Amino acid sequence: MPLISVEDLSFAYRDREVLHEITFPVERGEVLGLVGPNGCGKTTLIRCINGMLSPRRGRVVFDDRDISNMHRREIARAMAYVPQSAGNRTAATVFETVLMGRRPYLNWKVSPADEDKVVEALTLLDLEELALRKVAELSGGERQRVMIARALVQETDAIFLDEPTSNLDLCHQMGVMEILRDLADKKGLAIIIALHDLNLAATYCHRLLVLEGGSIYGCGAPAEVLTEDMLRSVYGIEAVVKRDLPAPYIVPLRPGCLESGV
């Protein structure tokens, strides 16, 4: 049985339908990449899956429970969410920011066990040296690691991330994705990531789900999903998909350059 089942989910902002009859499962230990052009509904889908938005039709089942029957605190103990802008407004120290991840379990007092979990996450993500620095003083890559550490101390079975690598250089993009893939492989977490970089998605995700105009265009292993036809149809671009490496990679072409040979 999958950990998460999205079943026939549709969502609309007032009269405008943004998601249309979306159905897919997510297994434990799987990294699922949500890809698609701007405005295709990636962020909305993540918000629906973790119950921040209520779908117009359909439902999301987490570990055999319909999430519409779960309290916000219960959802926060089941799945962690790292929004795109997370950490931009954080005025606290790294330690306190990660400690906030214990909020679904805390009333007021912080126990030594809570502090242990924070230290464990900081150590795992190599953030010990930065623990007492303010998050606002960190680089983009360090800040993203802090957000992942906070998601980890929520002790959930699933983590959702919205564009966790935007604004990061290539080295830090790979660093963040390595961490996420490791968490899925070693801790069995289900991870859903909305990504723009298709090559990064192909390298690190077990499966990709391609959204186009709020509907699923395709879902499967990167090698099955990333095709020239998909890129033409979904993104409206010409590209060559190279398949001589462990993961497919895309070389986009300028309009008309195939004909001219440039």
Partner 1 sequence: MEQSISLYEGYARLKRTRAAFMLALIFGLILLIGIAVTLGSADLGVAESYLAILAGLFPGRFSAPELAITIVWDYRLHRVLFAVCAGFGLAVAGSVMQGILRNPLASPFTLGIASAAATGASIAIVLGAGVVGGEYLIIGNAFLFALLAAFAIYGMARYRGVGSETMVLAGIALMYLFSAVTSLLQYVGSSEELQAVVFWMFGSVDKSTWPKLGIVALVLACTVPYLVYRAWDLNALAEGDEVAAGLGVPVERSMTVMMLIASLITAVIICFTGTIGFIGLVAPHITRMIIGSDFRTLLPASGLIGALLLLAADSIARSVLAPQVIPVGIVTAFLGVPFFIYLFLHRRDA
Judged by the rule CB under 8 A, the positions of this chain that interact with partner 1 are: 47, 50, 52, 72-77, 80-83, 85-87, 89-93, 95-96, 100-101, 103-104, 106-108, 115, 119, 122-123, 128, 131-132, 154
Dump the DSSP string for 224-261. HH--HHHIIIII---EEEE-SSSS-EEEE--TTHHHHT
For partner 1, the closer CB: 81 or 235: 81
Least CB distance from residue 102 to partner 1, whole Å? 9
Least CB distance from residue 14 to partner 1, whole Å? 11
Least CB distance from residue 125 to partner 1, whole Å? 13
Least CB distance from residue 122 to partner 1, whole Å? 7
Q: Which two tokens stand for residue 109?
A: 């007092």
For partner 1, the closer CB: 16 or 89: 89
- Reference 53, options 36, 63, 66, 68; nearest CA is 68
For partner 1, the closer CB: 71 or 243: 71
For partner 1, the closer CB: 138 or 208: 138
Instruction: Report yes or no: 156 and 128 within 8 Å, Cβ to Cβ.
Output: no
Least CB distance from residue 28 to partner 1, whole Å? 20
Q: In angstroms, rounded to a whole number, what is the distance separating the alpha carbons of residues 259 and 262?
A: 8
Q: In angstroms, rounded to a whole number, what is the distance separating the alpha carbons of residues 121 and 99?
A: 10
For partner 1, the closer CB: 100 or 239: 100
Neighbours of 237 (CB within 10 A): 14
Q: Which two tokens stand for residue 196?
A: 């723009």
For partner 1, the closer CB: 80 or 195: 80
Q: Which two tokens stand for residue 30?
A: 């799987």
91-119: string of b/e by CB count within 10 Å (b at 16+)? eebbbbbbbebbebbeeeeeeeebeebbe
For partner 1, the closer CB: 114 or 228: 114
Least CB distance from residue 208 to partner 1, whole Å? 24
Least CB distance from residue 189 to partner 1, whole Å? 15
Kindly tell me the burial class for residue 81, based on how many C-beta atoms sit within 10 Å of its own C-beta (0-12, 13-18, 19 or more). Answer: buried
Instruction: Report yes or no: 222 and 205 within 8 Å, Cβ to Cβ.
Output: yes
